[in-house]
Amino acid sequence: MKHTGEQCVPWGMVGTKLPSFARHIQRYAWASKWAAGKRVVDLGCGCGYGSFILSMVAEHVLGMEKNIEAFLFAKGHFERTNCRFYQADLMTSHIPPADVYVAFEVLEHLRDPAALVAKLHGPLLWSLPLDRTSKWHEHDYNEESARALMAGSEFWYQSRDAIVPQERAWFGPDIAVMGVLKR
């Protein structure tokens, strides 16, 4: 599998792409404290490296991915006893019960992200890129639209190499907004 500009492929992220991949890894490290000892569903898991990271502390992780190439890559490289992958469209598929759901850089790809959020029965750890347009996005978000979509969340911000709670946030290039939505 090769890097398309949208999917992060672990051994394809070199040179100028490496900082972006490092931020993705950092999100999963941040999520680990909520995943420890829990059943986790990683919604839109892509190539599966994040699900694998979470499986190091979680009881079980199920990674769900629509893209068949990414799903097969995840299955072939990251599946293990407590980390499984399922090929599914998040908008039409049953979302299994879990203690924690993860949706990093996923909601902007969905036709109706609020409908997916409404299907969940547990806390959702999420992230959205801010002020970044892409041909792969159904929606692009600024801070105001992200806050409207994820109202009720505890907000965190990631810029470069730090993830900080809202009260310590600063703004610069390449910001992502993150959060924990307790349901």
Q: What is the pLDDT of residues 92-122, one digit of tens each?
A: 999 999 999 999 989 998 999 999 999 999 9
143 lies in some domain: yes
7 lies in some domain: no
Mean residue pLDDT of the chain comes to 82
147 lies in some domain: yes
The per-residue b/e assignment along 64-79, b for 16 or more CB within 10 angstroms, e otherwise, is bbbbeebbbbbbebbb
Kindly state the average pLDDT of the residues 8-17. 53
pLDDT at residue 25, rounded to an integer = 82
Which is more confident, 56 or 150? 56
pLDDT at residue 7, rounded to an integer = 61
Q: Got the DSSP string for 15-34?
A: GGGHHHHHHHHHHHHHHHHH
2 lies in some domain: no
pLDDT at residue 138, rounded to an integer = 78
Give pLDDT tens digits for 161-174: 666 566 655 555 45
Q: CATH number, domain at 174?
A: 3.40.50.150
Who's near 146: CB < 8 A, 6+ residues apart? Answer: 128, 130, 177
Residue 148, pLDDT above cutoff 60: yes
8 lies in some domain: no
Domain encompassing residue 169? 13-181
6 lies in some domain: no
Residue reference for tokens 């965190």 = 156
77 lies in some domain: yes
Residue reference for tokens 């999917």 = 7
pLDDT at residue 34, rounded to an integer = 93
pLDDT at residue 23, rounded to an integer = 72
101 lies in some domain: yes
Residue 11, pLDDT above cutoff 60: no
pLDDT at residue 118, rounded to an integer = 92
Domain count, the chain: 1
